[in-house]
Structure 1
Amino acid sequence: MEELVRPWRLGPRGRWWFDVLLAGTLFLIIPFYAIQVMLNGGAARDVDSSSHVADLVLVVLQLVPLLWRRRHPVIVYAIVAGACGLQVLLIDYPLVSQVSFPIAVYSVARYARPRWGLAALAVGLLGSVLGTHDWLSSVGTASTGEVQDGINWSSYVPVALSLATFPVAAWALGALARTRAAYVDSLIQRNEQLRREAEQRAELGATQERARIAREMHDVVAHGLSVIVVQADGARYAAEQDPALAPKALETVAQTAREALAEMRQLLGLLRDGDALTRPQPRLGDIATLVEETRAGGMELTATLPEPGLAVPEGVALTAFRVVQESLSNVRKHAGPGAAATVAVTAAGDTLEIEVTDDGRGAAADASGDSGGLGLIGMRERITAHNGTLETGPAPGGGFRVYATLPLIGLAQ
């Protein structure tokens, strides 16, 4: 899965330095503003030492808290808003440091809960009304020398609306940034969740594949060793009775051992990363070869097999081959000496039927099919995976019977 690219953001150190530069830049404006007032000789207003002290205190209260606006947005906003309120009470003219108020509103809307952002917006709107009233009153008094009665609405409303745009815009930008950050974080979290789920599915698939390989290994080892044991016993007997037959039996033992070893190496290769099978899996036509090998091992075997070239899904063909292989291995292990077996593999309509019976004493053996209990259990798992059925038990007239059906339609190829 393609990894989601995270948007570029300032780190903790970068955010700290950004806030330092922001507050420092605003703070440096004040000396130039004071110098300009002093050079004008106080023509615009009466400049005295007390006003300078009040200005300095207000500037510090309005700008310095911005350094902590990300970690403590509500507290910073309360200090800045309080300083702006003191400004209305102490002086009748604006300060450049008042730009800290919309920055504080933005910080609350961006980093605090939505209700705190709405509260900051409400206070900002109220402050724009009070500030407009205070400044317009001071301007009117300074120009006429008399205190004005009433409110000049033609001047009051435009100024109040103009001042209100600052907290409204700051709140809107902060809320938008908070919503966008939450959306991006949710996308990143969702991407991480999908990635973990994909890894879990891959691990589950690997586990299932290893279980399949274990069943394949059991079938290969059980079949190969059973043939080897039978042929080795035959070779020992031939060496005592008719030495001319011993080489043929030993040749069969060697050939079976080589084939079983090759298949084991292929299956074990699947457990290594990057390895793959170099030989195709057994198909339906390979059952004929399996029958010939079993006959060569000395078992009397009658087989009814489908015509070569019968098209069936690969999974069904492999399952049919393993069912016959496991059943014949069980006959050699449990049916006793001299037992004869019958194999019938037929395609009836949309179903593949497999029947393996013997006339030995297998019905009296362990019902699991082998001492470890993995033979018929693995066989049943294979057939169930293909929505098939399996019947095992004593055959009529004695012996043991394995009967399986596999559907040929509605399967994933």
Structure 2
Amino acid sequence: MGLALLSALECAAEGAWFADETATPVPLGVLFGLIAGSVLVLRRRWPVAVVLVSVAVTPAEMGYLLGLVGLYTLAASDVPRRIIGTLAGMALTATFIVSFVRVGQDVRASDLADPGDWYVPLMAGFVAVGVVLPSVLFGLYIGARRRLMESLRERADSLEQELLLLADRAEQRAQWARTEERTRIAREMHDVVAHRVSLMVVHAAALQAVAPKDPQKAVKNAALVGDMGRQALTELREMLGVLRTGDGERRTGAPVPLASVGAAAAAAAARGGAAGGGAGPCIADVEDLVGQSRQTGMVVELAVQGDPREYAPEVEQTAYRVVQEALTNVHKHAAGAKVTIRLAHRDAEVAMQVENCAPGQPDPTSPALPSGGNGLLGMRERVLALGGVFVSGPTDTGGFRVSAVLPAG
């Protein structure tokens, strides 16, 4: 608004001078100048109209500020370049013509020697270029810079949206990882402890039944219960120790591998039930599982096909867990049933099958073992994680069969 007012005053003064030169009423010239200069207020909305008005009043030698600001605004706007070039050429031509006439008049009116034919067009060209070109070039620079800043701002907004999306996805992945970790820990706790606790309950029931009749056997069963209880407590302490250590390391910013809990649980189970005392349970330790179940009075047959060999640690542990959990389920749901375990060592895989016969009439003195319903689910998750095949279900004779095939690699 300030530039429009200044332009109106300039055009009014130049209109008064033009009216005096052309013998026109001065108020009319002033009014014409005010109207022409006030057009600058429309420069942001209609820059083309402002430039056209400035070109139109150029012969009256008015509207210099109107032309300068109008050309700058036009060049800085989003008007197509061909229109900018056309209007700038028109302003340049009009200014050149007016300057050519005015310089020619000044040369003829002066008493100096004739400067030559080149002087007038050269001076007129200098004036036209000096009036028009700086405004156009500066406007083009400001327009390009403005568009660049808008592009950078849009890019920054887009990057901010992408970062927010990535943050949401990272939070979802973290939540998924926490859920997977809780599931993994629950599965390890179930696999490591449930088997021993189930055997402890069975031995405790047997102890209660034989104590009045056979004190020596009762003492033997009591010793077995104590040993299994101590083993279960040791495994629990080791797993809880891993969890506490992991929690402390998380507070200090050091990540804890998810497999550490599973590794500790596996090592605990191996120390408690493996004869070899290796770094984790393996297929060779299945014989110890069979022996523990036989001590409870269960009839268990173990058949091995092929030449036993070493497999990857995760394959060994998964095979062990499948057999262990299958035996635990027999203790819970089919106490007294005969069990057949088959292990097959093949070229590219190892297969295992645990099948129990139909359970007989339940013994009223046998304990009722609780079931969480996660045994088969945990076995399936372990086997499928290694790319194996897991099948479970009832048999035609009323028993139950668990089969798994693991790749040897």
- Aligned Cα root-mean-square deviation (Å): 5.0
- 8 A contact 2:37–2:63 mirrored in 1: no
For residues 285 and 339 of structure 2, the distance between their equivalents in structure 1, rounded to whole angstroms, comes to: 18
Q: Within 2, Cα distance between the matches of 1:86 and 1:311? A: 95
| Equivalence for 1:212 | 184
Secondary structure of 1:345's counterpart equals strand
Distance 1:162 1:362 in 2: 105
CA distance in 2, matches of 1:397, 1:79: 93
Given candidates 89, 92, 95, the residue that maps to 2:62 is 92
Task: Tell me, yes or no, if structure 1 residue 249 matches structure 2 residue 216.
Answer: no
Identity %: 30
3-state SS in 2 of match to 1:249: helix
Task: Go from structure 1 to structure 2 and tell me whether the alpha carbon gap of 1:237 and 1:182 turns closer, same or farther (over 3 Å shift).
Answer: same
- After TM superposition, give the deviation of residue 351 of structure 1 in Å: 1.0
Shift of 1:188: 4.3
Distance across 2 between alignment mates of 1:127 and 1:179? 27
TM-score, normalised via structure 2 length: 0.63
More off after superposition, 307-316 vs 291-300: 307-316
SS of the residue corresponding to residue 332 of structure 2 reads helix
Cross-structure match for 1:291: 290
Residue 185 of structure 2 aligns to a residue whose secondary structure is helix
Superposition map of 1:242-391 within 5 A:
242-264=214-236, 266=239, 273=247, 274=250, 276-277=260-261, 279=264, 281=266, 282-284=280-282, 285-304=284-303, 310-337=309-336, 339-361=337-359, 373-391=373-391
Deviation per CA, 1:41-79, whole angstroms, max 9, x where unpaired?
x9xxx9x9998x969x959957xxxxxxxxxxxx87226
1:31-180 → structure 2 map (5 Å cutoff): 77-78=44-45, 86-89=53-56, 92=62, 94-95=64-65, 98=68, 102=72, 105-106=75-76, 108=77, 117-119=78-80, 121-145=81-105, 155=125, 159=129, 164-180=136-152
Q: 1:76 and 1:259 mapped to 2: Cα distance?
A: 89
Tell me by how many angstroms 1:405 deviates. 1.2
Q: Distance in 2 between matches of 1:279 and 1:243?
A: 38
Q: Which has the greater radius of gyration?
A: 2
Partner Cα distance (1:295, 1:122) in 2 = 97
Structure 1 distance, partners of 2:67, 2:234, is 84
> 2:226 aligned with 1:228, yes or no?
no
Kindly state the Cα deviation for residue 229 of structure 1 after the two structures are TM-superposed: 1.2
Decide whether aligned partners of structure 1 residues 173 and 400 sit closer, same or farther in structure 2, where only a CA change above 3 A counts.
closer
Contact 1:132/1:156, CA 8 A, preserved across alignment: no
Q: Is the 8 A contact 1:352 1:407 kept in 2?
A: yes
User: 1:355-378 deviations in whole A, cap 9, x for unaligned?
Assistant: 2233451899xxxx9865433233
Query: For residues 229 and 370 of structure 1, do their structure 2 counterparts lie closer, same or farther at Cα, with a shift above 3 Å needed?
Result: closer
Q: For residues 105 and 313 of structure 1, do their structure 2 counterparts lie closer, same or farther at Cα, with a shift above 3 Å needed?
A: farther
Corresponding letter in the other structure for 1:381: E
TM-aligned CA deviation for residue 228 of structure 1: 1.8
Checking the alignment, whether the CA contact within 8 Å between 2:68 and 2:135 is kept in structure 1 is no
Cα deviation 1:378-408 (Å, max 9, x = unaligned):
3233323333233445568774432221122
Distance in 1 (CA, whole Å) between partners of 2:231 and 2:334 is 25
Counterparts of 1:60 and 1:225, CA distance in 2: 95
Query: Contact 1:133/1:156 (CA < 8 Å) preserved in 2?
Result: no
Query: Is the 1:61–1:79 contact (alpha carbons within 8 Å) kept by the matching residues of 2?
Result: no
Structure 2's unaligned 5+ residue stretches are 11-16, 107-120, 251-255, 267-279, 363-368
Deviation at 1:200, TM superposition (A): 2.7
C-alpha spacing 1:380/1:140, structure 2 compared with 1 (3 Å): same
Q: Structure 1-normalised TM-score?
A: 0.62
* One-letter amino acid of the counterpart of residue 222, structure 2: L
- The separation in 1 between residues aligned to 2:55 and 2:356, in whole angstroms, is 106
1:194-205 matched pairs, under 5 angstroms: 194-205=166-177
| Residues 362, 393 of structure 1: alpha-carbon distance in 2 compared, 3 angstrom cutoff | farther
- Match for 1:303: what amino acid? L
Q: 1:296 to 1:58 in 2, by over 3 A?
A: farther
Contact 1:390 1:404 in 2 (8 A): yes
Aligned with 1:240: secondary structure? Answer: coil
Structure 1 stretch 347-356 or stretch 180-189: which is displaced more?
180-189
Q: Distance in 2 between the 1:227 and 1:405 partners? A: 27
Contact 2:340-2:354 at 8 Å conserved across structures: yes
Unaligned runs of 5+ in 1: 1-22, 35-41, 63-74, 109-116, 147-151
- Aligned 8 A contact 2:71 2:136 in 1: no
Deviations along 1:314-368, whole A, 9 cap, x unmatched?
A: 332232122111111122123333x44333333211111112233451899xxxx
- 8 Å CA contact 2:40–2:66 kept in 1: the answer is no
Alignment CA distance shift 1:393-1:311 (3 Å): same
Partners of 1:394 and 1:400 within 8 A in 2: yes
**CA distance in structure 2 between the aligned counterparts of 1:370 and 1:388, rounded to whole angstroms:** 29
Paired residues in the alignment total 341
